[in-house]
Structure 1
Amino acid sequence: MDQRTLVVDDGTPLHLRVTGAGPDVLVLSGGPGCEHYLATESLAPTGRRCWFPWPRGVRPSGGGPHDMERAVADLEALRIGLGLGSWAVVGHSWGGDLALRYAVDHPEAVTCVVAVAARGPQRDRTWSEAYEAGKAFEKGVDVAFDAEVWAALRASFTTWTQHPLLWRSLAECPVPVELVAAGDDVRPAWPLGQLATLLPHARLTTVPDVPHDFWHTDPDRFVATVRQALGRHV
């Protein structure tokens, strides 16, 4: 993979890697505040030029704790700095939620979204209770993250879920959205079902018998799932 550093509008250097050739795809990992665990050749869908940015505040990128608005602004600054007209956006977990926010805020920049095992824009108590109850039975993956960036973005995500125009902005989003649920995820998938009904150009599919982090446990199925979802649009 090639490595690059771009300095965005406020002077912060952001690190990213790139691989492949073809239509441009922005790939976002989960967290928030995690290092980019998807940034490997084996997880990049073939026939695409894939960009993997390290979030602000997560080394080797510069900066520190920030909110979702700044995170979206960073993605848009990268697109402009790279000279790209638009790109598809793939996100896993938190990355799927950020991809959706990016599409809502900048629909002209996003050709489609593929959100894999996202949470959805909600802070429902019963969802959280189900997740906490199942978490003990989930095999975790050790991924480095910045705790301050995690906390800041988590708080900002909550603010977004409470915005009075959230549901209207989603209902009016013109970007095609592929929502992918992991069949054995301990996180309930009902918010994705709601999104699939609300978003005007959305589809929900479920990959059976895989956990939340199936990029790690079943990488071939992860890549095939992403490639198939992208293939419907780019």
Structure 2
Amino acid sequence: MTFPPIEPYVVGHLQVDDGAEIWWEASGNPLGQAVVWLHGGPGGDLRAGYRRRLDPERWNIIGLDQRACGRSRPLASEPGCDLGSLTTQRMIADLEALREHLGLDSWVVSGGSWGSTLALAYAEAHPDRVTGLALIAVTTSSHRELAWISEGVGRIFPEAWAELEAASGRKPGQPLLEAYLERLTDPDPAVRDAAALAWCTWEDAHVAIGQLGEALPPGQGMADRSPAKRLLIATHVVNNWAHDAWLGESGVLDSLEAIAHIPGVLIHGRLDVSGPVETAWELHRRWPASRLVVIETEGHGGPLMGEALESAYATLLERPSG
């Protein structure tokens, strides 16, 4: 079931050690089992709907806008923002700072898409602080995955990828992501805006595949957002992928022994062309305490995947926290 809408009982900005401000909120029962939700992107933002997946009587529901996006500051798209500060390791440190700020001994960590990579990376760095993981539209940010989503999936959407490449302005032999990072940080606002629109249009072509393989309705894609929002999203994504998410060739897969004992639920759509189910399957194969749930009729999201996430939360809540 989906629970009724609720409002946070507290919100705030947490200033971390390098001066960045991370926006966070807490909802539900302050004395309940703590869970933190990690949104997708990179460069997405927190949406209120995540709260409705959890029983507010039993969960202390934490959410945040990740570094340099949403209501956190500074934004990645603002002049002078240091893109070198957007590493996965810095985001892990932000999460740990928030846990300490809230006085929580441990929490369940949950995330979707990019948020699942961040959840796994955090758990590997701080396994003693994680009692369970609930992940949806699973990613591990290996080089192979990132090469697929930025170029390989063009085999399925060749028309859209040809337009993306044409708009990149890349020099002969220059990697596509490197070319887009140059254009997204160009001094000319028109160049930045054009690159962001081209990138978001490309992402809409493949990421938006949802229930029964249908694309999102017109007006609901990333390319339909404001120029400022498009630039923010594209800058985060391209900067992250151009650096292999700062996780190396295999993403989070090489450090799974740290979380081998932590229970986890992996939820993935069979029709997800942006992140084929092979990723979730391989993660499950290497992680003994995980359970894989494949939704046959959905892609990178959908109502059945949401229901499976609710069930995962209920399962993790029944386990002892210590």
Q: TM-score range by the shorter chain?
A: 0.7 to 0.9
Note the residue ranges of structure 1 that are not aligned, 5 or more in a row.
Answer: none
Cα deviation for residue 111 of structure 1 reads: 1.1
Preserved contact between residue 143 and residue 249 of structure 2 (Cα < 8 Å): no
Match among 7, 15, 19 for residue 15 of structure 2: 7
Moved more, 45-54 or 189-198: 45-54
Distance change (3 Å), C-alpha of 1:132 and 1:61: farther
Moved more, 168-177 or 9-18: 168-177
Which amino acid in structure 2 is aligned with residue 61 of structure 1? S
How high is the TM-score relative to the length of structure 1? 0.84
Q: Distance in 2 between matches of 1:148 and 1:127?
A: 19
Partner residue in 1 for 2:65: 54
How far off its partner does 1:61 sit?
0.8
Give how far 1:184 is off.
3.0
Q: Return the letter of the residue paired with 1:25.
A: V
Residue 34 of structure 1 deviates from its aligned partner by 0.7
| Whole-Å separation in 1 of the counterparts to 2:316 and 2:154 | 29
**2:264 paired with 1:177:** yes
1:24 aligns with 2:67: no
Among residues 37, 42, 47, which one is paired with 2:47 in the alignment? 37
The whole-number CA distance in structure 2 between the counterparts of 1:109 and 1:131 is 39
**Which residue is 1:78 aligned to?**
98
Q: CA deviation at 1:220?
A: 5.8
CA deviation string 1:51-108 (max 9, x = no partner)? 1100111142113431101011100110011111111001011101110000011111
Q: 1:48 to 1:121 in 2, by over 3 A?
A: same
Given the alignment of the two structures, is residue 190 of structure 1 paired with residue 278 of structure 2, yes or no?
Answer: yes
- Checking the alignment, whether the CA contact within 8 Å between 1:178 and 1:229 is kept in structure 2 is no
Larger radius of gyration: 2
| Structure 1 CA distance for aligned equivalents of residues 293 and 268 of structure 2 | 6
CA displacement 1:94-141 (0-9 Å, x = unmatched): 101110000011111111111111122323278543476264582245
Tell me, in whole angstroms, the C-alpha distance in 2 between the residues paired with 1:84 and 1:131: 44
Q: TM-score, with normalisation over the residues of structure 2?
A: 0.63
Aligned residues: 231
Question: Which of 128, 133, 136 does residue 156 from structure 2 map onto?
Answer: 133
Q: Counterparts of 1:60-71 in structure 2 under 5 Å?
A: 60-63=71-74, 64=76, 65=83, 66-71=86-91
Q: Work out whether 1:227 is the aligned partner of 2:313.
A: yes
Q: For 2:22 and 2:127, how far apart are their aligned partners in 1?
A: 23
Q: Secondary structure at the match of 2:138?
A: coil
What is the one-letter code of the residue matched to 2:287? L
Cα distance in structure 2, aligned partners of 1:157 and 1:232: 36
* Cα distance in structure 2, aligned partners of 1:70 and 1:132: 34
Structure 1 contact 86–110 (Cα < 8 Å) conserved: yes
d(CA) in 2 for partners of 1:127, 1:11:
35
CA distance in 1, matches of 2:255, 2:55: 30
Amino acid at match of 1:17: E
CA contact 2:117–2:252 (8 Å) conserved in 1: no
Structure 2: 5+ residue stretches without partners:
1-6, 77-82, 158-204, 210-214, 223-228
Which among 99, 103, 127 is matched to residue 107 of structure 1?
A: 127
Identity of aligned residues (%): 26
SS in 2 for 1:112: strand
CA RMSD after TM alignment? 2.8
Distance in 2 (CA, whole Å) between partners of 1:107 and 1:192 is 20
Question: Per-residue displacement from partner, 1:183-225 (whole Å, max 9, x unpaired)?
Answer: 33223111111111112322211233233122xx568625534
**Equivalent-residue separation in structure 2 for 1:38 and 1:155 (angstroms):** 30
